[in-house]
Structure 1
């Protein structure tokens, strides 16, 4: 037989297991807080912007086409920046100031390159667990690219650093408020999910209407449940009464 639950029963179940829902919500929220403030390492970000100009032609139409080509070339610059020709000098400079040495792949994984649509300016962003290291990586990468690009790519004669990266002491991750909110919501959902699964899988008979209305059986009477302590009290009272009579 298919078991259905109406709105009244839903609210009844929520009230019945409200403590379990609250407990689940509190536990998940606390776990999210512990992970956010004591386990997850804060990450800091710093960005520098670069403008790359290629040799221009005097013809306006040709200049326009060259500008469009420059915009499309940014994808090439993105690939070039994370290659060993740029990463080798950057990694060497970073490791000269660090005890724990990094390799090219680790440094490259900290770097992301973005640009606005139809813009010749692109950003080099470094993200790591130290605000000053992030700024150093971004600036060193930009400076190295500025020196290497004209030699590697023909026609690229002017690489300008529009703005240098500065240490930002405000971490970009983790997002404290968002993480706590996620923990709260997960705890709430888990608690509600557990109680409804428990209710839907519970096949025990809880009331007389289920027998008479759902199963169509005839009620012959109700046997009340007597707690063991009440049985013991009644047994003692009965024994005492018999003793007095005897």
Structure 2
């Protein structure tokens, strides 16, 4: 076992443990498929886009510094959207029986560092509720920000609707099953190699030299059974 394994040895290991590999991979794939298709609840997502930009007259030009300020404000706006005050107002409007922390976990704010646009994403088990929460957050935020920040630089680019959220975003049963199949194959191969590596039983002549640390002078083949078989056949022929 101290010698480097060649490709032939590896194939022999796999062939020897092929049943283990097939069973382990099949079980892991089947279990993942069952959990993904029948146990995990589907999660839907609703999203809305918001532009942070001051309203301007036609004669006014855009100021680079003002744009950078609007971009930096997005981080502050993200904190405001997920603040307890906002969450309480959303729950009150939609009559939701849920904690602030649980509702906050369903809300994600996604923004590009160089863009004045950020997206509010809401995940939930019910697509209608996800859309309602996204819409409520947008409306309440647009109203409250005028008082909180004394600015009017928030505009809704796209509103959440049911049509875009008819399919769940997770779980993905097919992808999960494929990943589980590959994972099961890899894990079973690793187990196979580990079993062979820690197996200290003598299998071939070279193992004797490795364990005893002495050279092998010769090999005695087991031919006793063959001799007995031949003698038995000869005796039977003589009796006839």
Residue number in structure 1 paired with 2:235 = none
TM-score, structure 2 normalization? 0.82
Give distance in 1, aligned partners of 2:216 and 2:183. 42
Q: 1:79-158 counterparts in 2 under 5 A? A: 79-94=79-94, 96=95, 101-154=97-150, 156-158=151-153
Q: Could you say if the C-alpha distance between residues 225 and 203 of structure 1 is closer, same or farther in structure 2, counting changes exceeding 3 Å?
A: farther
Instruction: Report if the CA contact (8 A) 1:29-1:181 is conserved.
Output: yes
- In the TM superposition, what is the alpha-carbon distance from 1:163 to its structure 2 partner? 1.3
Give distance in 2, aligned partners of 1:224 and 1:4. 33
Residue number in structure 1 paired with 2:194 = 197
1:48 aligns with 2:44: no
- In the TM superposition, what is the alpha-carbon distance from 1:3 to its structure 2 partner? 4.5
- In the TM superposition, what is the alpha-carbon distance from 1:124 to its structure 2 partner? 0.8
| Two-structure CA RMSD over aligned residues (Å) | 2.6
Instruction: Report if the CA contact (8 A) 1:56-1:66 is conserved.
Output: no
Give distance in 2, aligned partners of 1:24 and 1:148. 56
Question: Could you list the runs of 5+ residues in structure 2 that have no partner in the other structure?
Answer: 226-240
- In the TM superposition, what is the alpha-carbon distance from 1:210 to its structure 2 partner? 3.7
Deviations 1:123-166 (A, max 9, x none): 11101111111111111000000110000002x12432221101
Instruction: Report if the CA contact (8 A) 2:52-2:71 is conserved.
Output: no
| 1:188 aligned residue (167, 185, 190) | 185
Instruction: Report if the CA contact (8 A) 1:24-1:187 is conserved.
Output: yes
Q: Could you say if the C-alpha distance between residues 224 and 192 of structure 1 is closer, same or farther in structure 2, counting changes exceeding 3 Å?
A: farther
SS of match in other structure, 1:124: strand
Residue number in structure 2 paired with 1:238 = none
Residue number in structure 2 paired with 1:230 = none
1:175 aligns with 2:187: no
| 1:161 aligned residue (137, 156, 161) | 156
SS of match in other structure, 2:65: helix
TM-score, structure 1 normalization? 0.80
- In the TM superposition, what is the alpha-carbon distance from 1:200 to its structure 2 partner? 1.0
Question: Could you list the runs of 5+ residues in structure 1 that have no partner in the other structure?
Answer: 227-246
Residue number in structure 2 paired with 1:221 = 220
Give distance in 1, aligned partners of 2:77 and 2:159. 18
Task: Kindly tell me the number of residue pairs found equivalent between the two proteins.
Answer: 221
